[in-house]
A and B are shown apart, each in its own frame.
Chain A
């Protein structure tokens, strides 16, 4: 797999560390326990487009949001996670 890091350009996937769902939002401190439980333990496993976090560990150390189709590995977009909402 090749991931186009917006900072470094196209690189082999072995330079990156996969971290899973980019849609997760850390609940506020006063959220109920259940919200933290879901945040820590519940994950979707979609067949299709999926926005996920990758860390460019052997590159610029950017956290990236990679939109990947889990069925084909087609990558539709790569953006910096910073400022992603």
Chain B
């Protein structure tokens, strides 16, 4: 049963590899692909088709494979839709066929073929126009079972993926004769070269065709070139690497399958690597893909591209059949006739539609039983058993065979030339699309440029490298390209064999037939982009690599246009499928983005803090003590400690910006909505910043540390945006202002010390001479201080909690030591650490707005900050903030609210509705923005935005949350719940 030839091929027969396919054991050799090893073991049926569940075999030997898609590996590493023609064999490989139920040989759903009239073009659109209920209950489950390819593993991927960037003078894509030639010329000239090859071996067609270059075989020439390139320091060879996308200015994306050819990647190695390659010049030498021919039942296992037949024989020493018919419309396929004969296969017929082929046939082809005519239909059940041939004289005969090698000519691989939007141009003389406008810096060589001869490939590769180098000012070195053997390549495209019974497949992967395109055309979807959507031609993993041209040709004949007029569909990246894991790289789970830690993080961890993400920061949320199993008890305890004793909280995450210069004051005036002229040195003030559209952008405090020295804070969330905005204001709007500023967020550790005992605690850590009495350092004071050990820091008398409070800042590297000193010094004062939750509770008790209210859609007037808007100056947002719409009572305003029933919990996001009104959107009057349990008041409180809210204190409303199914009666009140006069913070 083995189809392996006794000798030859680029496989290592000393290394036997065991693998399984659908649970059955097989053996192959190192150097095999899965497809080659399966064919060697006589496996022809490898999958079932997408819609009709027809039996399918290996069609190609490369990335264009539409049929042989398998699930590789098991468990968490299971990977569906892997092309068996690209999967490098390894010992222990597990593969399963897809789309069959219950088994590959006996597939119940192949009866879909009987219902195929229902599954024709546009069936997705037509069948499911019935009531939506039908879709959910009947169609979707049925379709999901019947159609679709492999299934994903639902477990997390255990492997690593990484990203890398590389720069070069010349990127060469593809390592056939053209690519190797280009890389060699460039490397010998001293250029930095990257050579990317999707295969695991370099050489392209040199590996699979018996051609001569120089005075030996093409394969030997390729080996010597690769060896020379590998010895050069400025050459990076990237095998198993597919360049999948072209981007602007010489940027390319490539996927390197670093360890797809082993069961489990070695420790510390990624499975795949996503390259960003930045190339000054690029030579695209991606070759060409052979086209199948369109005839009845052309999808039977045993029908294979002629080039694939040659590849399996020459590279893998596999004879894909014993009795072969070759059906081709070009001379190049004659080499396949020679390969088959050399492999000992019987050539039962060479079928060629061209009347003149007989006169020109040379070599083996002349001796082959040439039959002028076409194959009308392939015959067989689960595999090919014969073909029905119609001669030029009209005579129809059946020929028994087990292999049909087909060739409909070649399609240059142009995808990378079109990713920036250029459309290829139809070359009628050569019957192929060729690049028209190339991406800047790219040249095309070899078969991709339309030159199918090896000699043309060497010449165009050589010239493309020379031209690229010269344009970079590098003198090309090297003599002339080597001589290549002669090849026959005359070609008269046969777009479609005469009609016959059976399905004429154009797109094997999507089960799109000629009849589907005819239907699409009849129904008005004959334009190429329309036909693609209507029939799914050219979709899914192969993106039409084998089907596009035959599809366009069919549309052309239906519409009476030329193929050029029909035009290709748009090429979009990627060229071949890319795993999401490769795109994500290391950026997943906790590594999705960098985590910023506060200066007191280690200390907080020792205190048992529960941490929460706050932007990129990890902040202490609360500090549970023994016995506190829920989040609320520690938060209540922390709030009570701050309000009755003293608490410590790391507030270093606030954006901190230092400004200096004679115009710093003017700059701050223009930046903030409120005035700063009267702010004395040593004082701080709350400020509100608007966007130019008049809405609130951010808030914070600004301290004047010297006549021309200022220090401002932003909210944690807006730190980056505000800094960027300030740079815009300074560099673009007002470059004349003499001010310098920089972000110092990372440079300062800043801790809130809050509560009645905060002053007493601070006095213990400050140098003895530092007077921070209420008289010497009143509310909103700001100044430099010296700590007891001589460390220089800054002290601000700011209060977010509403208590007597300070913020002390020290250089970040001293943050850990200082928080420990504060905690130790305050033991007898009852000092506690408090987290983000307690901070939030206290700010809601005090009615301070934060992120939930600063949504970017709220105005200062809505938030009760309208009186801060200066009328005496120009500032960002000054003009549009004065528009009446921003202060319209019909719009919402900030309010406080409490539940009528003290025990009821409030939820944020609940909407306000009048009592007794229907629960409909027309009656909606605003919503709850922030909620907290107030330990000070003993019940839940909230802030909200309510229409005309400031006039409605005391009114009762419903707070309705339809998502959580909760409704609460609330009473509206002033947003400041605690100490409205601010006596405590001034004490």
Contact = CB atoms under 8 A, between A and B. Distances in A.
Do chains A and B interact in one complex? yes
Interface string A1-30: 110000000001000010100000011010
Contacts of B707: none
A55 interface: yes
A36 B879 contact: yes
Interface string B438-449: 001000000000
B728 interface: yes
Interface string B245-261: 00111110000000000
Contacts of A46: none
Contacts of B879: 27, 29, 31, 33, 36
B693 interface: yes
B727 A55 contact: yes
A18 B735 CA distance: 20
A63 B251 CA distance: 23
B427 interface: no
B693 A40 contact: yes
Given A39-B692, A55-B724, A63-B727, A2 B250 contact: yes
A81 B248 contact: no
Interface string B722-736: 001001100111010
A75 interface: yes
B692 A40 contact: yes
A76 interface: no
Contacts of A39: 692
A74 B420 CA distance: 11
Contact of A57 (B247, B440, B724, B883): B724
B732 A81 contact: yes
Interface residues of B, number: 24
Nearest to A17: B724
A14 B521 CA distance: 44
Contact of B735 (A36, A61, A83): A83
Nearest to B422: A72
B874 A29 contact: yes
Contact of B251 (A12, A17, A80, A83): A12
A61 to B, nearest CB: 6
Interface in A40-63: 40-41, 53, 55, 57, 61-63
B248 A1 contact: yes
Interface string B853-883: 0000000000000000000001000111001
B276 interface: yes
Interface string B897-910: 00000000000000
B902 to A, nearest CB: 46
Given A17-B724, A40-B693, A61-B727, A53 B249 contact: no
Contacts of B732: 53, 63, 81-82, 84
A40 B251 contact: no
A57 to B, nearest CB: 7
B178 interface: no
Contacts of A27: 879
Q: Which residue of B249, B732, B879 has the most chain A CB atoms within 10 A of its CB atom? A: B732
A82 B731 contact: yes
Contacts of A82: 731-732, 735
A72 B438 CA distance: 12
A81 B251 contact: no
Contacts of B294: none
Nearest to A83: B735
B250 A74 contact: no
Interface in B737-768: none
A63 B732 CA distance: 7
Interface in B233-252: 247-251
Interface residues of A, number: 30
Contacts of B693: 40-41
B168 to A, nearest CB: 14
B594 to A, nearest CB: 12
Given A53-B732, A81-B731, A1 B251 contact: yes
Contacts of A1: 247-249, 251
Contacts of B251: 1-2, 12
Interface in B681-698: 692-693
B170 interface: no
Contacts of A41: 693
Interface in B531-586: none
B941 interface: no
B93 interface: no
Contacts of B727: 55, 61, 63
Contact of B248 (A57, A63, A73): A73
Nearest to A73: B248
B635 interface: no
A29 B250 CA distance: 45
Nearest to B727: A61
Nearest to B874: A29
B248 A26 contact: no
Contact of A40 (B250, B724, B878, B880): B880
Nearest to A19: B728
B361 to A, nearest CB: 48
Contacts of A33: 879, 883
B732 to A, nearest CB: 5
B745 to A, nearest CB: 14
B200 to A, nearest CB: 30
A29 B878 contact: yes
Interface in B403-452: 420, 440
B276 A12 contact: yes
Contacts of A37: 880
B303 interface: no
A36 B880 contact: yes
B712 interface: no
Nearest to A35: B879
B169 to A, nearest CB: 14
A67 B263 CA distance: 50
B278 interface: yes
Nearest to B876: A26
A10 B39 CA distance: 50
Contacts of A61: 727
A62 B728 CA distance: 9
B608 to A, nearest CB: 36
Contacts of A53: 728, 732
Contacts of B420: 72-73
Contacts of A55: 724, 727-728
A2 B276 CA distance: 12
Contacts of A31: 879
Contact of B278 (A2, A29, A62, A74): A2
A75 B278 CA distance: 16
B728 A63 contact: yes
Contact of B731 (A17, A63, A74): A63
Interface string B273-292: 00010100000000000000
Contacts of A81: 731-732
Given A29-B878, A41-B693, A80-B731, 5 more contacts: A1-B247, A2-B248, A12-B278, A17-B724, A73-B420
8 contacts: A12-B251, A12-B276, A27-B879, A29-B878, A53-B732, A55-B728, A63-B728, A84-B732
| Leading 5 A-B pairs by shortest Cβ distance | A29-B874, A2-B249, A63-B731, A73-B248, A1-B248
Interface of B: 247-251, 276, 278, 420, 440, 692-693, 720, 724, 727-728, 731-733, 735, 874, 878-880, 883
